Amino acid sequence: MTGLYACASHLLVDLPLFGGPVLFVIAAVLLISRSERRRAAQDNAQAVGSLR
Amino acid sequence: MNLFAVAAPPAGGAPLGQVIGATVAGLLLTAALLVIGMRYRAGRTKMLETLAAPFTWLLRVPAWAALPVALATGSLVLAGAGFYWDVAVHIDRGRDPGPFGTPAHYPILLGLFGIFAAGWLALVMARGTEAGRTGVRLSSTWTVPTSGLVMMACGGFALMGFPLDDVWHSIFGQDVTLWGPTHLIMLTGGQLMIPTILGLLLEGRAAAGVATPTGTAAHPGRAARWGARAIALSGAGGVLAGLTIYQAEFGFGVPQYNLLFQPALLAFTATLALVFGRAVTGRGGALGAAAFNIVVSGGFVLFVGPLAGETTPHFSTYIPAAICVEVAALIVSPRRIAAFAALAGVLVGTVGTLGEWAWTHVWMPIPWPAHFVPSAIAVGLAAALCGAAVGAFVSSSLAPGRLSLVGARRWVPGAAGAVGFAAILAVCLPTHAPVGASGTVVLDRLAGGRASATVSFHPVSVVSSPDYVQQLSWQGHTKSIVSMLRRIRPGVYRTVTPLPLSGSWKSLIRTQQGRVRGDVPVYLPADPAIPVAGIPDRSTVTRAVISDTTLMQRERKRGVAGWLWTTATSVVMAIIAVLLAIIGWGLNRVAGALTGNPPRDRRDLALGDGRRRRLGRGRARVAAAGAGR
């Protein structure tokens, strides 16, 4: 029981240490992908506009 | 109990302040890394290109491969030096008060974070479809190099080992051994990703074959060819040095597992790395890789011993194994990678193990006795064949067009070799203390709180043909003392160096005979933080021969539920298995992508364009046919 308690309490504190960076990376990949897709869409729209 | 107590650091998990500090520092560093990457992708900074420029020129690959390869290599060296230093610190000073309680942890943390950062940089620096040939498509505008993903996963897993280690300590107590389950996560995530670094180089070379805005194509010619060979050779030597760290307890003379682990680890490591070195870099590749290992491991030894002032580790030269692999290559062409690797495995497992037996009598803390050699060869042969299978996989992945496939699927022998080696270690693992055995210790007092000891074992059969009878005095806050005892007559041994019997020293007599491992304690201080009572140094005393783990890992908590230990160990081993699978997946994916292309687009770790052209179209077609089978 002591072992389980120690495990639970430490996980609460330790989790951000290895959970945080993983969440950061996922968020960053999503942000980069979204902004690049938007930029590509804008470029396409400009290209189509200039053709017209 | 307090009579022998000395000031001791806490023995559970890290203090809360250290954990919070580590969390904040980790998040800030990661945030900084991500911001740099995002600014680079948005075209708002040229910093990464500037940093990458010299490595792009040197390695002849695009910036997204060059900078991460350089960063990961430097980080690995830093982490490797830190690992050796940390093991030495634990041997000489005992446990630490937390993840930031010893300076040796900082290079490890920085190194592992560097690997994570290198993976991230490989991802963000590859724009558009520059890594399209071998990469993984994240979105319509972003394809990332496969090896970059693997590298980041390796760094992430290895970093995860730190907090997991802390959780482990709080549940089970500190396990002062290199082979603790969570320690293996850090080691594996760090040292086993060297082939991934080479995989990223290969991806870079493949991409440099077509025009890219960030890189230069591989230049044909002698210099480029020799440069490519040097990189492959140092990669094989790096694998050798990296895997050698797993043997560090034997190198320091304080193994906490069956001595048979040593020939098994030596044979597996040597065959894996040297088959790869010879197959990919050509004649002399195995000897060159062994020489590279001597330089790198020698550097670690100089750093830990003379520079840091800790106990000096020892290591194998692997020269007998390298000669075996070169001889195997003379008999069977390394292009027939399966047959070549198998022959190399047989030679390394037998002749190479004999060479290592000799080397243990030259410069290793525990010389193997003659009666140990048949067992060492049996285990070494099996381990070498497993190493050969993994080596064949790594070789055919990093030189995909040149070497024949092993079977229909490249990854199968690699996975079989890894599983087989794990099974060998599992078979060797179980040991037990002798039942009803005891040792009578008679001390001859000397100056300075030291004494020589004569130990008589009862019954004599406990040490009738021992693998070793060793005196160990460690954790005395100075260099440890490790020596083999001198046999006086059957069952009676005498120390060759005086045993320190005061302060924080722990002095004991250790024996192994087959699966029976046991110790006779001579002096151990009380440790209120664990808590355990002291074992006093009596002038004449008879004590039971008890489990080695009981004395060597005093901090381990007793009475923890067995199911909890089994579950936790299984979870950690599953993490390591996932890590190995990710590394294998990356190598297999890159090789598969390259062999799926026409022969003119093939790249090889050790061949620049010039060499490929010299091979001629006919041989390229043969290679293509072989790869396409």
What does the pLDDT read at residue B602? Answer: 45
With b for 16 or more beta-carbon neighbours within 10 A and e for fewer, the B113-147 pattern comes to bbbbbbbbbbbbbbbeebbbbbbbebeebbbbbbb
Kind plus residue range of the DSSP H or E element containing B136? strand B136-139
Interface confidence, given as ipTM, is 0.78
Amino acid making up residue B403: L
Length of chain B as a residue count: 629
**Arithmetic mean of pLDDT, B407-428:** 91
Instruction: Please state, in angstroms and rounded to a whole number, the distance separating the CA atoms of residues B124 and B47.
Output: 13
Q: What is the pTM of this model?
A: 0.90
Helix axis angle, B47-59 relative to B16-41, nearest 10°? Answer: 80
State how far the Cα of A10 lies from the Cα of B178, in Å rounded to an integer: 22
Q: How far is B13 from chain A (nearest CA, A)?
A: 8
Structure tokens at B443: 């001390």
More confident residue, B146 or B178: B146
Residue of A nearest to B113 (CA): A21
pLDDT 10s digits, B165-184: 878 888 888 877 888 888 89
Residue A45 Cα, gap to closest chain B Cα (Å): 16
Q: In chain B, positions 151-190, which contact chain A (CB-CB < 8 Å)?
A: 152, 156, 159-160, 162-164, 166-167, 170-172
Assess contact for B80 and B114: CB atoms under 8 A: no
- DSSP notation for A4-36: HHHHHHHHHHHHHHHHHHHHHHHHHHHHHHHHH
- Give the C-alpha separation, B529 to B524, whole Å: 14
Distance in angstroms (rounded) separating the CA atoms of residues B582 and B199: 13
Q: Report phi then psi at B532, rounded to 5.
A: -140, 155
Distances (CA, A) of B557 to A2, A5, B10, B90, B326: 11, 15, 13, 18, 49
* Residue A16 pLDDT > 80: no
pLDDT digits (tens, 9 = 90+) for B352-368: 999 999 999 999 999 99
Of B13, B34, B166, the CB nearest to A28: B34
Q: How far A44 CA sits from the closest chain B CA (Å)?
A: 13
| Tokens linked to B462 | 């406990």
Q: Cβ of A6 and B564 within 8 Å?
A: no
B199-241, pLDDT tens digit by residue? 999 999 999 874 333 333 445 577 777 888 899 999 999 999 9
Q: What sign has the CA pseudo-torsion B413, B418, B422, B425?
A: positive
A10, A35, A36: residue with CB nearest B170: A10
State whether residue B71 is helix, strand or coil.
Answer: helix
Predicted confidence band of residue B609 (pLDDT cuts 50, 70, 90): very low
- Single-letter amino acid code for the residue at B504: S
- Decide if B38 and A28 are in contact by the 8 Å CB cutoff: yes
Of B20, B30, B138, the CB nearest to A20: B30
- Say whether residue B560 is in contact with chain A using an 8 A CB cutoff: yes
Asked if the Cβ–Cβ distance from B560 to A20 is below 8 Å, we say no
Cα B99 from Cα B381, distance rounded (Å): 39
Task: Name every residue whose Cβ is closer than 8 Å to that of residue B21 and which is 6 or more positions away in sequence.
Answer: B100
| Cβ-proximal residues to B466 (8 Å cutoff; 6+ apart), any chain | B369, B511, B512, B513
Q: DSSP for B592-623?
A: HHHHTS-GGG--BTTB-HHHHHHHHHHHHHHH
Residue B518 reports pLDDT greater than 70 = yes
